[in-house]
């Protein structure tokens, strides 16, 4: 769902049996509550009612609200769109930052991301799940830096994960600490800066 | 207090009368609760008890927990250490990122920052106060980029605020989305990257 098209919701287009449909309904309800009200308002009984799923099923399968957030983040990572290959580091990073920007600028998705980040600040299991989500996203995009190194666009020894994180970081910082617009200019600037710093050797691993 | 020495607490060394002492005690108690338990556990009656201040005083002066967080952020901005001038953009940015890194890597301060960021995700008044805090910090450091432009280190038209935000962003992103160490290497890399991108013209304002 996340980093996918904004209108796509968990499970709406996915095949699967009853178990998959139950999971999709529950995760959609959880994402709704997180986006609309935040982590503090997440309640398993309420989620069961919204998802029209038995309370016992929800408690048995997810156990706690943290367990539910962790599963939502797993689903978000699995539903993420694959990376774009444009043939240049700047093009690839720009595709990445525009995807992040569109996701965070979407009111529902932006609110959902704020909510899971907030949950992670006060709950170690949610933090671990969030780290897993970002780790998967960074892993998925890291090859664009490896390819850029192979093409000679960036110095050998450039840390691909640092470059990918550097491209996203300004957009999250903008979302969380400013009221500035999260627009395409911000996305392009973040990509341009990460590419320029990478070319200049800022992300070469220490020997 | 924040972005100051980690051991300095609100009000401990500040002069002032009873009103100032009350404020210092209350803000210190609020920072303690935020760092130890998070925004969800902030409660004015509990703060009054911890600060050994009358409940009526706390309710009358701060009104709500959000009002208290807003005042804490104001105090944090006022207590922040002034910027360092080293004579080069890279030196100045490194002084900045090391200050941010030391603050966020300190267990109490890191937890406090996570808590106020989380509070800002779910409360518009806390968000406004947080934006005010970062705006003040970015304003305080922006002149280092203006000086670098005057020295010819970065292209004319470079947006000083974007450069300062770019230097901090990777440290916050690392704190919030990864379990990676927030060490001096991370601080220096963030400064090097922002300086390199600025030199390459990545932060030149569109005409």
Between chain A and chain B, the number of residue pairs with CB atoms below 8 A apart is 127
Answer yes or no: do A119 and A182 share one domain.
yes
Average pLDDT over residues A17-46: 94
Average pLDDT over residues B92-119: 96
Q: Quick one: pLDDT band at residue A198, thresholds 50, 70, 90?
A: very high
Answer yes or no: do B31 and B99 share one domain.
no
Answer yes or no: do B71 and B89 share one domain.
no
CATH number at residue B12: 1.10.10.60
Q: Are A1 and A9 in contact (CB under 8 A)?
A: yes
pLDDT score of B184:
97
Q: Give the lowest-confidence range in A13-22, A73-82, A196-205, B161-170.
A: A13-22
Domain boundary among B45, B76, B107: B76
CATH number at residue B175: 1.10.357.10
| CA-based nearest distance A146→chain B, Å | 18
Residues of A with Cβ-Cβ distance to B114 under 8 angstroms: 121-122
pLDDT score of B7:
39
Number of domains into which chain A is organized: 2
Could you tell me what percent of chain A has a pLDDT over 90? 84
Q: Which of A174, A166, A162 is nearest to A113 (CA)?
A: A174
Are B117 and A120 within 8 A, CB to CB? no
The answer to whether position A205 is within a domain reads no
Answer yes or no: do B94 and B171 share one domain.
yes
> What pTM does this model have?
0.91
Task: Give residue-wise pLDDT tens across range B36-76.
Answer: 999 889 999 999 999 999 999 999 999 999 999 999 999 99
Q: Which of B170, B190, B206 to mutate to test the interface with A (most CBs of A within 10 A)?
A: B170
B136 touches chain A (CB under 8 A): no
Q: Which of B166, B175, B194, B205 to mutate to test the interface with A (most CBs of A within 10 A)?
A: B166
The answer to whether position B34 is within a domain reads yes
A125 touches chain B (CB under 8 A): no
Has residue A1 got a pLDDT over 80?
A: no
Has residue B11 got a pLDDT over 50?
A: no
| Average pLDDT along chain A | 92
**H or E element in which residue A18 lies:** helix A18-37
Answer yes or no: do A68 and A115 share one domain.
no
Count the alpha carbons within 13 Å of B29 in the hemisphere toward its beta carbon. 21
Are B172 and A170 within 8 A, CB to CB? no
B162 touches chain A (CB under 8 A): yes
Count the alpha carbons within 13 Å of A174 in the hemisphere toward its beta carbon. 25
Domain boundary among B76, B96, B117: B76
Answer yes or no: do B70 and B92 share one domain.
no
The answer to whether position A204 is within a domain reads no
Average pLDDT over residues A12-17: 64
| CA-based nearest distance B120→chain A, Å | 8
Tell me how far apart the alpha carbons of residues A126 and B81 are, in angstroms, rounded to a whole number: 33
Average pLDDT over residues A73-84: 88
Tell me how far apart the alpha carbons of residues A112 and A13 are, in angstroms, rounded to a whole number: 20
Domain boundary among A76, A104, A123: A76
Could you tell me what percent of chain B has a pLDDT over 90? 83
Has residue B28 got a pLDDT over 60?
A: yes
Has residue B118 got a pLDDT over 50?
A: yes
Answer yes or no: do B71 and B87 share one domain.
no
pLDDT score of B15:
62
Are B178 and A131 within 8 A, CB to CB? yes
Looking at per-residue pLDDT, the higher value among A66 and B80 belongs to A66
The answer to whether position B188 is within a domain reads yes
Average pLDDT over residues A78-89: 89
Beta bridge pairs of residue B158: B204
The answer to whether position A27 is within a domain reads yes
A207 touches chain B (CB under 8 A): no
Has residue A149 got a pLDDT over 70?
A: yes
pLDDT score of B3:
57
Q: Give the lowest-confidence range in A27-31, B13-17, B38-42, B103-107.
A: B13-17
The DSSP secondary structure of A24-76, one letter per residue, reads HHHHHHHHHHHHHH-GGG--HHHHHHHHT--HHHHHHHH-SHHHHHHHHHHHH
A118 touches chain B (CB under 8 A): yes
Answer yes or no: do B101 and B193 share one domain.
yes
The answer to whether position B204 is within a domain reads no
pLDDT score of B5:
42
Answer yes or no: do B14 and B110 share one domain.
no
The answer to whether position A207 is within a domain reads no
Has residue B79 got a pLDDT over 60?
A: yes
B81's tokens = 């250490």
Answer yes or no: do B150 and B96 share one domain.
yes
> Which of A173, A193, A201 is the closest to B168 by Cβ?
A173
Tell me how far apart the alpha carbons of residues B191 and A141 are, in angstroms, rounded to a whole number: 23
Contacts (Cβ under 8 Å, ≥6 apart) of A63: none
| Average pLDDT along chain B | 92
Q: Quick one: pLDDT band at residue B2, thresholds 50, 70, 90?
A: very low
The answer to whether position B117 is within a domain reads yes
Answer yes or no: do A48 and A140 share one domain.
no
For A54, the domain range is 3-76
Task: Give residue-wise pLDDT tens across range B141-174.
Answer: 999 999 999 999 999 999 999 999 999 999 999 9
Q: Quick one: pLDDT band at residue B8, thresholds 50, 70, 90?
A: very low
Q: Give the lowest-confidence range in A5-14, A79-88, A136-145, B25-34.
A: A5-14
> Which of B118, B168, B177 is the closest to A118 by Cβ?
B118
Looking at per-residue pLDDT, the higher value among B8 and A70 belongs to A70
Tell me how far apart the alpha carbons of residues B121 and B112 are, in angstroms, rounded to a whole number: 14
Answer yes or no: do A52 and A136 share one domain.
no
Q: Which of A101, A173, A201, A205 to mutate to test the interface with B (most CBs of B within 10 A)?
A: A173
């Amino acid at each position: 769902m996340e980093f996918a098209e904004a209108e796509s919701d968990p499970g709406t287009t996915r095949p699967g049996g009853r178990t998959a449909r139950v999971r999709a309904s529950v995760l959609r309800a959880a994402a709704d509550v997180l986006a609309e009200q935040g982590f503090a308002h997440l309640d398993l009984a309420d989620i069961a009612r919204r998802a029209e799923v038995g309370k016992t099923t929800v408690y048995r399968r997810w156990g706690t609200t943290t367990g539910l957030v962790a599963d939502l983040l797993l689903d978000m990572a699995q539903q993420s769109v694959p990376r774009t290959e444009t043939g240049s580091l700047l093009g690839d990073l720009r595709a990445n930052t525009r995807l992040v920007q569109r996701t965070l600028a979407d009111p529902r998705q932006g609110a959902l991301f704020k909510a899971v980040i907030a949950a992670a600040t006060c709950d170690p299991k949610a933090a671990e799940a969030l780290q897993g989500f970002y780790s998967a996203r960074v892993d998925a995009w890291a090859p664009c830096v490896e390819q850029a190194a192979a093409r000679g666009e960036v110095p050998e020894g450039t840390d691909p994960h640092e470059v990918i994180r550097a491209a996203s970081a300004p957009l999250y910082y903008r979302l969380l600490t400013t009221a500035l617009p999260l627009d395409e200019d911000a996305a392009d600037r973040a990509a341009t800066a990460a590419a320029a710093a990478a070319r200049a050797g800022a992300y070469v691993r220490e020997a």
